[in-house]
Structures are given as C-alpha cells and as structure tokens.
Chain A
Amino acid sequence: MTPNAAVRLRRLTRHHRDVHALDGVDLDFHAGTFTAVMGPSGSGKSTLLQCAAGLDRPTAGTVEVGGVALEGLSERRLTLLRRDRIGFVFQSFNLLPSLTAAQNVALPLRLAGRRVSRPAVREALARVGLAGRERHRPGELSGGQQQRVAIARALITRPAVLFGDEPTGALDSTTSREVLDMLRDLVDRESQTIVMVTHDPVAASRADRVVFLTDGRVAGELTGPTVETVTARMTGLETDRVGASAGGAAC
C-alpha cells in the first residue's frame, strides 16, 4: 500500500505437491529497511524468500520487485531481472569453487555481458572487509570470508533488494556478528533494502522489523525487536504449534 515498497507480495501461495508451503501471504518490504523473517522449521520462510526473489515460482498470487511484477516472465527475463535488481545470499555461500574471489564477485556482471572494472571489484571486496583477498579461491577462505565474498557478489549489481537465506546460519557467533554488523551498516549508510530469513533471535534483533510465519501464513510481526521479545514470540509460536498438532513432529 505504501508507495515506497521495494517488494510487494499479494495472496502468495506455493504448494509442493499436497504440502502448502505458503498459504496466501500478503507482505510489503519497504525500501531502505532491514526485515527479518522468522518461523519454526517448515513454516515456509525459505519458500517465501525464494518466491520473492524470483528463484521459485509461486502457485498463485503476485510478487512485485521495485514495481515490476514477476508473474508471467519467461525464465530468461526473470533471470535478467534477478541479475539487475535482486541480490541473494545463501547459508551455504554458493560460490563457484573454481573461480577466485574477484572472479566470483565479477561473475554477475560478466554474465550480463558488462565490462568489469578491476577497481570496482576491488572496491566491492574492500567494502566487505576483504581487501587484498582478490586472488584467493573459496577453498582458501574461512566461512565468514566466503559469506562476505557472496555478499559482495550480491551487491555488485547495486540491487534494489538483498535477500539472505540464513546468511549467518553456517557461521560461528563472532563471525556471525561481524556479518550482521556489515548488513546493518549497508541499511543505515547506503539505504540498502534487506530481507533476511533466520532462526536466530540475535540475528533477528538487528533488523528493523521481524515478520513471523507459521504453516505458510503470517502470524504477526514486531517492530524494533530485541532478543528477548523475539525469543518470547518464537517460544509462543512453537508451543502453539506443538499443541495444535498434538505432539506431531515439528521438524
């Protein structure tokens, strides 16, 4: 409804065979804000992110990114849009093992057929604190460093939104904090829009807003979250769920 929504989801539904991963989700992610999406395992939060980022196609409903509807785009158009407007960071980094850090960062631009300037790549790596590591391959970098290469790669095209699917999930708490500081910085200083799925209340508390998901539906949200309020809300959701499914496996 607000004019400055970077991502707008309407009646978003996604079925995997007979499992309703998403069941009519309406959400707006505003430009220049940092949103965390939380929910128990199987609540559909990763599916939500992949649909919003155009990596997966919803069964029904619409996705708009920066005012462009993704519905009905060919795989090629969708890829081009993703390449230009959307950055994505995964839990498992997803770097190409055969390419160096600099080559990995430059890959989206090279795939788009654009000229890649060496200083731009060096600057992108410097921005995530990896100056001087251009020639290292992923195997020679620590987990935190690899995730920072992935973030630099996601940002090289100056996307409208940066999506993160548990970006700190594979990192220890210190490295995790460094990466979160960096993401917070990007929002505060460069007005980057970030949407992040996480199960970690500490990570979620760094966002401006936390959206809670259960069984493919929005179950509430918090603005200005703290570790305590997030943890309390999550505990409440999980006990509700266990109670509802009468002790059925939650995972």
Chain B
Amino acid sequence: MSAREVRSIGQAGWGRTLGAAAVSILYFFPVLFIILAAFKTRQDILTWPVKFVFTPTLDNFVSVFFRVSVEGGAAEATGFGRYFFNSMFIGGSSVLLALVIGTAAAYGFSRFPLRGNDTYLFMILTTRMMPPIIAIIPIFVLFRIFGLSGTYQGIIALYTAFNLPFSIWMVKSFFDDLDRDIEDAARMDGSGEWRVFRRVCLPQIYAGLAATFVFAVILTWNEFVFALLLTGTETRTVPVQIVRTIGGAMGVDWGLLSALETLFIIPVVLVTFALQNQLLRGVTFGTIRR
C-alpha cells in the first residue's frame, strides 16, 4: 500500500476563497483585459480609465471569420475555421505521437537501461536547449529535400520531435517511481512483459501522462516560427494568423488580436480544466519520491 493514499489536502473555508479570488483576479487582469478588448471597439480599448461597462460589439469576432472585401463586395471567409482545425490537428497529433513514442522510450530507459543510459537521456534533453533559430535553415533544407514543406506530415514530425525530450523525461520519472514489487508479483503470476507494461505499469501513471499531455499542449499550441516557415496556405496554424494582426495598415488590430487570442485559448483552457486533478497528481508523482 502506498503512502500516497493517505496524503490529503487541508481544508479551508470561504475566507480563503475570498483571499484567493482577490489575488487571482488581480493576476488574471491582463488576460481579462484581452478578453474584454475582444468585445470592444478600438476607441474603447485605447482609453483610460479601462472601460468595464461598455456596449459590447461582436465585430471583432465577425472579422475573425470574415474579411470585408476591399471594394465593398461580399465578405470573404478568412479560413479561420481551417486554421483552427489545423492547430488542433497538428498540435493534437504531434503531442499524442510524442506521448506514445516518448512513453515507449521512457519505459525502455527506465526498465531496460542501455549502456550509457544517462548520457542518452542528457543528449535528448540538450536538443531542447538549442535556440531554435539556428536550426531554421537546415530544417528548411531538410523539408525541401523530402518535399515536406507545407504538408501536415512535416510539421507534425517536427513538433513531435520538439515534444519528445520533455515527454521522455517526464514519463520516465513516473516509471522510475513505480513500485517494482508489484510488477515482479505480476510476472510471478505469469504475466508477459507486454501485459506487465499495459496492465500493471501504464494504469499507474495515467495521471502523469495527463500532466505531460497538458504541458506539451501548452508548449506546442503557441509555436510560431516554424509554423510560419514550414506550413503552406492549407496547413497554416492560428499563431500565424495572430501575428497577422500585429502589423499592417493599422499597426496592431487590438480588437481582432484579442478576439483571436480569446478563441484560441479556449481549447487549452478546457483541456487543462478537464485534466486539472490529474495535472496536480501527475506532476507530483514523477518527482517527489526518492
């Protein structure tokens, strides 16, 4: 029986809620500013004192999806739905892929150490330390050679590789923490290696996997530079659309930028909220014991 079960969090009442609410709202204020700005006109955004009471407008959200034609003809679609789908699809697949490949590797590193195991692990981590700007041109050339520029496969492969170091390190720490006796007992009972992995080890680290998933999603969701350079018009993601609003005939289009950001963080907020409990348990799990 693990001591973990006995751990429990202290209780506090509405008093703590009040204090926490004050701090949270203060901390959240810049984000709140952005969300409110999404419903404001430019004049209302750029005014002091900050307006909390105003006539909300949906114009910014409309221009997320439709662009008024220059000569005043019918509005044309901006393709935002497509970009949003691309972001979800590319982000989702690469994070899942990294999780699958990373979990396999983490299990290998944890249970069947290679000669120079730690060196491999460290080398893997170093690939994340390099400023990505350096790799831009070689990666561009690589993509050209394999014809990956503008394809889903290319950008997914790239993001998968970006997420791997983090996933491997985190998941490995979860495997390291598991009680080996349980596995040995399972083996004694006649379980094969696959079964030990699938039925004994994996279920124990679900929370950890969820935590890794959330972190990777947050880190991938906002990637801009490679999205800009390596996606085509069909595979472009939302961060590129976001930067579109930061220069042009009107400098920063504050309202549009805010509307894009507001829509854009919704999926991450939902994922984080849904996995919140796992997130906390998961993180702990990997690093506390020993």
Q: Do A and B come from one complex?
A: no
Q: Give the interface of B toward A (CB within 8 A).
A: none
